[in-house]
Structure 1
Amino acid sequence: MRRGLDHVVHLVRDVDAAGEVYDLLGFTVGSRNHHPWGTHNRIVQTPGFFIEILEVAEPEKIPPHDGAFFSFGAFNKARLARSGEGLSMLVLEGTDPVGDKADFDAAGIGGYDLFDFSRQARRPDGSEVEVGFTLAYARDPIASETAFFTCTQRKPENFWSPQMQRHANGVTQVLGVVLVTDSPADHVSFIDTFSGCTPRRAVDGWFVTQTPRGAIDLMTPELFTERYGVAAPQGEGLRLAAVRFDTPGAADLRRGLAARRMLVEQIEGIAVVPPTAAMGATLIFERNEDAAAG
């Protein structure tokens, strides 16, 4: 089954401060939500994809990992203590969580129980609704800094909001995510099984996986720095380094970000917000010329 990008988790120490950063970048940011296990989040939506800005707000509530139970909260709590803020989880869209788990188990990258949960969410008009999700976890044994799962929406009509997908920076969609590792070829099989899409070699040390929603770039830290002008996140194995967005207003955005000193050195055709300005994440704004031509 081919699986498109669903969301990433941006792990931060202060979710409201991070929300202010995303607001400065021209995004519409949702209100604070609470998970029953002690993490809080705020959501930035694009069509079919979102960034989950996450804070470990009530660590005393977080359950530990236990056998086949993967603790979302425990992973992010340990990740924050070990490596600090940054992109901690890559999530693909699920439609059949039982089938996803079976695929992952059969390939030797699963072994975790499905996880179902619900929480309250607030609509733009202030009313509260219930949203629900089923998660199917996968694991790359040499990716301690990043977790992977599929997310199946049980009440998508309560979650997705066209109003929350209109952004002052003009962002219209996600273009992809970028993973870095010292040995990209060692992770090709995992990405193939996890996404259901075949990675293609671009150049030595760089593979591109085109999913139904966005690309997964897998490259060495050296290539990442050469291409985007910022250092890759530190750590062993596979690390989630960046999110790429499509915006027709990239040129205006570059000027605004440069004035706020939130932009790396000028790179042709794109605007790169570095980890020092975006709480450990690299956020990339570019113009998808294929979309523009269409």
Structure 2
Amino acid sequence: MGDDVNGLHHVGHIVRDMDQAMQRYRQLGFTVPAPAYPVLPSVAGGPAEPFGVANTHLHFPGNFVELVAVIDDASGMPGEARPIPLQVPDDKLAGLRAAIQAAAANITSFLQRFEGLHIMIADTPDIEGVAVRLTAAGVSHGGVHAIQRPVETSAGTRMEPARYLEISDPDLPVGRVPEGRIGFAQNATAKALEDLPHTEHPNGATGLVECVLCVADSALPELEGRYGTYFGAARDGQVRRFERANVSVVAASALAGLLPGERPAALPAFVAYAVSVRDLATTQELLNDNDVPIIRTGPGEVFVPADAALGASIIFRQDDDGRAA
């Protein structure tokens, strides 16, 4: 169980203001491409208009962090935003708008809980196999969907095919579980990961290496069983680590031991993610120069508190191939 999981595909940080988020992430030392937003007509033959959500990806060689904001109206679009016209036959327009509207409603409901992390997607080489495995285990999900996502390359923006599956809680809206949105994704080709120009970051970040979920102490056994079904067995300890998916689960009473001073905005909640860096000392120097508060948790790790990073603690961890700080 869980042999079809290759770590994290991406995490999603839902923000209220995309311009503010881009500025903050650049202050944190990340390369942030201009966000994309879909445009399509409200009726067949009508003018195209912004609709749904705007997003941008902080790319690493094998995965990414996604920044997401709901589009309220054209005047609220980020200043650097790139329109992505969606082509759809007239008879499919209403269905596509309904699907995008449902996704935007989910994002809005997440934001009503708190600004921060609400999306965790695991990477898989076999999305169909995952669907069969989850169904056999009695896990509710929405099936495998094919999408086209905008990818910035050295030759410009291209639409890259991918397939995904979302796990659902029968008692919640489609695509929702208590902690947010979780699932699996499979990139169409390895080329999608190779031809990305935005993989160099001033802070030296080299990859997305962990996502941290905090739950009420009483909910830990149920959560461990559920995630074990999704991702394979956890490593025992105060923090349960589902290593195939690079997901860690911590009880609320133990969070301060993992991230001193941090408190979850709600339970359950994704409270942090970690990126590896080439040289932690250089990363710290950049954060200090940019007046970003950091807290050291060990010789090879520091984190930026959630209050300074729009609701999500961001951990910077020395890359195993680098030197300890």
Common fold by TM > 0.5: yes
* 1:144–1:63 CA distance, 2 compared to 1 (3 A): farther
Structure 1 position 105 matched with structure 2 position 135: yes
In 2 relative to 1, CA 103–73 (structure 1 residues): closer, same or farther, beyond 3 Å? farther
Residue aligning to 2:47: none
Counterpart residue identity of residue 133, structure 1: A
The amino acid of 2:4's aligned partner reads R
Match of 1:271 in 2: 302
Match of 2:26 in 1: 23
**Greater shift after overlay, 276-285 or 227-236?**
227-236
Please give the alpha-carbon distance, in whole angstroms, between the structure 1 residues aligned to 2:128 and 2:297.
44
Q: 2:263 aligns with which of 207, 211, 232?
A: 232
- Output the CA distance in 2 between the equivalents of 1:85 and 1:241: 11
Q: Secondary structure at the match of 2:142?
A: coil
Q: Could you tell me how far 1:15 is from its partner in structure 2?
A: 2.0
3-state SS of paired residue (2:130): helix
Q: How much is the aligned-residue C-alpha RMSD, in angstroms?
A: 2.7
SS at structure 2 position matched to 1:201? coil
Matches within 5 A, 1:198-209: 198-203=233-238, 206-209=239-242
Unpaired stretches in structure 1, ≥5 consecutive residues = none
1:17 positional shift: 2.1
Correspondence 1:115 to 2:158: no
Provide the residue aligned with 2:125 in structure 1: 95
Please state how far the C-alpha of 1:266 moved relative to its aligned partner. Answer: 4.0
Gaps of 5+ in 2: 40-50, 75-95, 172-176
1:63 maps onto 2:66 in alignment? no
TM-score (norm 1): 0.84
Correspondence for 2:104 = 73
AA partner of residue 173 (structure 1): G
Conserved? CA contact 1:40–1:56, under 8 Å: yes
In the alignment, which of 187, 191, 203 is matched to residue 223 of structure 2?
A: 187
Partner residue, 1:8? 11
Deviation by residue 1:105-141 (Cα, 9 ceiling, x = unmatched): 222222323322214433245x231112221111367
Q: How far apart are residue 89 of structure 1 and its match?
A: 0.7
Question: 1: distance between equivalents of 2:160 and 2:261?
Answer: 37
Tell me, yes or no, if the aligned pair for 1:28 and 1:168 is still in contact at 8 Å: yes
The runs of 4+ residues in structure 1 deviating greater than 4 Å are 58-62, 140-143
Structure 1 contact 275–281 (Cα < 8 Å) conserved = yes
The whole-number CA distance in structure 1 between the counterparts of 2:263 and 2:133 is 31
Residue of structure 1 equivalent to 2:277: 247
Which is further off, 21-30 or 97-106?
97-106
Aligned residue pairs total: 280
**Cα separation, 2, equivalents of 1:280 and 1:141:** 28
Q: What is the TM-score of this pair, normalised by structure 2? A: 0.77
Q: Give the equivalent residue in structure 1 for 2:158.
A: 129
Amino acid at match of 1:139: S
Please give the secondary structure, in 2, of the residue aligned with 1:112: strand
